[in-house]
Amino acid sequence: MTVETKLPYDQEYISQFSQKHKEPEWMKSLRLQALEKAAALPMPKPDKTNITNWNFSNFKHEAAGEPIQSLEELPQEIKVFLDLENTDQNLVIQRNQSVAYASLSSELKEQGVILTDIYTAMAEHGELVQRYFMKDAVGVDENRMTALHAALMNGGVFVYVPKNVQVEAPLQSIFWQEDAEAASFNHVIVVAEANSSLTYVENYISHNQEEEAVANIVAEVIAHDNARVSFGAVDNFAQGTTAYINRRGVAYRDAVIEWALGQMNDGNTVSENITHLIGDNSVSNAKTVTVGRGKQSQNFTAKIVNHGLQSDGYILQHGVMKDSATSVFNGIGKIEHGASKSNAEQESRVLMLSKDARGDANPILLIDEDDVTAGHAASVGRVDPIQLYYLMSRGISKQEAERLVIHGFLAPVVTQIPIKAVREQLTEVIERKVY
């Protein structure tokens, strides 16, 4: 029996959308197949959070944005994410679904580094994009949201660093949802070929309070043998946006993937960060911070799967909950059979600032191999009154003391965000959300 589900967009719409963006044939058919699958696939079921009444259907799929001539034209709220003193920016600014600004240093271009929007990437590096688009990390048919993502993908960035190339300067994307109702079906692919290294940082920003929008985002990170990827993000969708975010990594032999994620959305959010340590000796550190406020409900999963010998996974989640916000933090360490000598560690800490807030830390270890090490620590607590007393005994006000303790609590992740401007911005967002 097939389930009758009406989707907001049909085959014809999607064909036209694909044509309009001059996509290669493979992409169009991938979209159409995904749309077909979406109807039959179930919605994702995040552990302990009921999302059946969340808005995933009310949004505007297409919204263009004006290009800018120089970064000076940007409004202040976007400028703050940029290191403006640096004239040699490696940067893509996507305004709604159009590229407003793009630059990549000539030195990196010469080395074969790619940092470009997803449509240009499909036009100019079609084979590469096809090779990685929802193949190794996220599958089209995992659930209705991943299928819809493939069908309706309307923006994103492609990052590629060739073999043996070390990119020191950070590569940055800013996804600026200027249109209050514009949906973001953004797709980001980051590929680091063997023995290469890169740092990538992305920011999502919207300002919609009452207007409803949807973000259905996928980021796929592929680190080939002995590659090193440092991935930082600050998600800052406003209250009106319901977000479903999948960030996934695949690490081959001796590869390292570092995640530093500032999960600062104000609307309901499901956010998954999963890394597969396929290769022997591969490593991933996944660090996230979250501030929940208002009535928002959020579900976070940080998961690392050890497949390779001596692979090493470490998860650190820190969350602050205030008002009547609800958050579930799933920390999952999974060691597959055969991944001997591997290690799965995780730590989840939730700080509650009000009695109506709810925070759930769910540490899960799934171990299918004997010769391994694993550990987890989880806690949900309040600001320690003795710590406040100590700070206040030096003249610091109660509010400032709380502020210090909260910043201190979030520091282990905030300090890991690679770009200074973004780090400062994350600190400011935290400030705004906490007070």
Partner 1 sequence: MAGSTLEIKDLHVSIEDQEILKGVNLTIKGGEFHAVMGPNGTGKSTLASAIMGHPKYEITQGSVLLDGEDVLEMEVDERAKAGLFLAMQYPSEISGVTNSDFLRSSINARREEGDEISLMKFIKEMDEAMDYLEMDKNMAQRYLNEGFSGGEKKRNEILQLMMIKPEIAILDEIDSGLDIDALKVVSKGINKLRDENFGCLIITHYQRLLNYITPDKVHVMMQGKVVKSGGPELAQRLEAEGYEWIKEELGIEDETVGQEA
Cα–Cα distance measured from residue 411 to residue 430, given in angstroms and rounded to the nearest whole number: 11
CB of 319 to partner 1, least distance (A): 14
Cα separations in angstroms, 408 against 171, 302, 321, 344, 347: 28, 21, 15, 25, 16
Give whichever of 89 and 416 is closer to partner 1, judged by the CB atom: 416
Give whichever of 205 and 414 is closer to partner 1, judged by the CB atom: 414
CB of 424 to partner 1, least distance (A): 14
CB of 285 to partner 1, least distance (A): 17
Token reading at 269: 């959010």
CB of 398 to partner 1, least distance (A): 7
Give whichever of 390 and 435 is closer to partner 1, judged by the CB atom: 390
Give whichever of 75 and 395 is closer to partner 1, judged by the CB atom: 395
CA-based R_g, the chain, Å: 21
Give whichever of 220 and 402 is closer to partner 1, judged by the CB atom: 402
Give whichever of 29 and 397 is closer to partner 1, judged by the CB atom: 397
Give whichever of 107 and 400 is closer to partner 1, judged by the CB atom: 400
- Give every CB contact of residue 78 below 8 A, 6+ residues apart in sequence: 93, 174, 176, 205
CB of 397 to partner 1, least distance (A): 5
CB of 233 to partner 1, least distance (A): 20
CB of 260 to partner 1, least distance (A): 15
Give whichever of 61 and 407 is closer to partner 1, judged by the CB atom: 407
CB of 393 to partner 1, least distance (A): 5
Give whichever of 100 and 260 is closer to partner 1, judged by the CB atom: 260
CB of 428 to partner 1, least distance (A): 16
Residues of this chain that interact with partner 1 (CB under 8 A) are 384-387, 389-398, 400-401, 404-405, 407-412
Give whichever of 371 and 435 is closer to partner 1, judged by the CB atom: 435
Query: Residue 169 phi/psi, 5° resolution?
Result: -70, 140
CB of 302 to partner 1, least distance (A): 19
Give whichever of 116 and 416 is closer to partner 1, judged by the CB atom: 416
Q: Which of 194, 204, 181 is nearest to 77 (CA)?
A: 204
CB of 427 to partner 1, least distance (A): 12
- SS3 string, the chain, reads CCCCCCCCCCHHHHHHHHHHCCCCHHHHHHHHHHHHHHHHCCCCCCCCCCCCCCCCCCCECCCCCCCCCCHHHCCHHHHCCCCCCCCCCCEEEEECCEEEEEECCHHHHHCCCEEEEHHHHHHHCHHHHHHHCCCCCCCCCCCHHHHHHHHHCCEEEEEEECCCCECCCCEEEEEEECCCCECECEEEEEEECCCCEEEEEEEEEECCCCCCEEEEEEEEEEECCCCEEEEEEEEECCCCEEEEEEEEEEECCCCEEEEEEEECCCCCEEEEEEEEECCCCCEEEEEEEEEECCCCEEEEEEEEEECCCCCEEEEEEEEEECCCCEEEEEEEEEECCCCCCCEEEEEEEEEECCCCCEEEEEEEEEECCCCCEEEEEEEEEECCHHHHHHHHCCCCCHHHHHHHHHHHHHHHHHCCCCCHHHHHHHHHHHHHHHC
Cα–Cα distance measured from residue 343 to residue 311, given in angstroms and rounded to the nearest whole number: 6
